[in-house]
A = this chain, B = another copy of it.
Amino acid sequence: MQTLPGFRDFLPEDCAARNYIFTRWREVARRYGFVEWDGPPLEFTELYKKKSGDEIVHQLFRFQDQKRRDVSMRPELTPSLARVVTSLPHEYKRPLKWFSIGQFFRYEKQQRGRLREHYQLNCDIIGEQSAAADAELVALCVDLLRAFGFSESDFLVRVSNRKAWSDFLASRQIEAHRVADFLDIIDKFERTEVSVVEDRLAAFGLTAQDVITFAQSPFAESRQLAQFLAEIQARNLEEFVLIDPMIVRGLAYYTGFVFEVFDRLKRFRAIAGGGRYDQLISRISDNRIEMPALGFAMGDVVLTEFIKESPRANRRLKSWIKRAQVIDAFVIIAEESKRFHALRFVERLRQSKWRVDFSTGPARVKNQFERAEYVSARYAIIIGAEWPLITIKDLKRREQTQLESTESIRDLKRKLQLWQRNLKSQRARGS
Seen from chain A, the residues whose Cβ lies within 8 Å of a Cβ on chain B are: 1-4, 7-12, 14-16, 18-19, 30-33, 35-44, 46-47, 61, 63-66, 69, 71, 73, 80, 83-84, 86, 88, 93, 95, 97-98, 100, 103, 105, 107, 117, 125, 128-130, 132-133, 135-136, 139, 143, 230-231, 234-237, 284, 286, 325, 327, 339-341, 343-344, 346-347, 350, 353-357, 360-361, 371, 374-375
Contacts and interface: CB of A to CB of B under 8 A. Distances in A.
Contacts of A237: 347
17 contacts: A2-B83, A4-B65, A4-B71, A10-B37, A10-B39, A12-B37, A14-B37, A15-B35, A15-B100, A31-B354, A32-B356, A35-B325, A40-B117, A95-B360, A128-B360, A133-B360, A235-B343
Contact of A9 (B15, B40, B341, B374): B40
Given A33-B355, A61-B65, A350-B32, A11 B84 contact: yes
B130 A361 contact: yes
A136 B327 CA distance: 17
A30 B354 CA distance: 9
Contacts of A284: 1
B360 A132 contact: yes
Q: How many copies make up the complex? A: 2
Contact of A236 (B42, B63, B327, B347): B347
Given A33-B375, A128-B360, A347-B139, A38 B65 contact: no
Contact of A105 (B30, B42, B97, B344): B42
A163 to B, nearest CB: 19
Contacts of A357: 32-33, 97
Given A44-B4, A66-B107, A10 B38 contact: yes
A43 B9 CA distance: 11
Residue in A88, A103, A129, A343 whose Cβ sees the most chain B Cβ within 10 Å: A343
Contacts of A235: 343-344, 346-347
B9 A39 contact: yes
Contact of A129 (B105, B236, B361): B361
B46 A1 contact: yes
Nearest to A127: B361
A338 to B, nearest CB: 11
Contacts of A46: 1
Quick one: which of A33, A125, A133, A340 has the most chain B CB within 10 A? A33
A41 B117 contact: yes
Nearest to A358: B33
Nearest to A117: B40
B1 A44 contact: yes
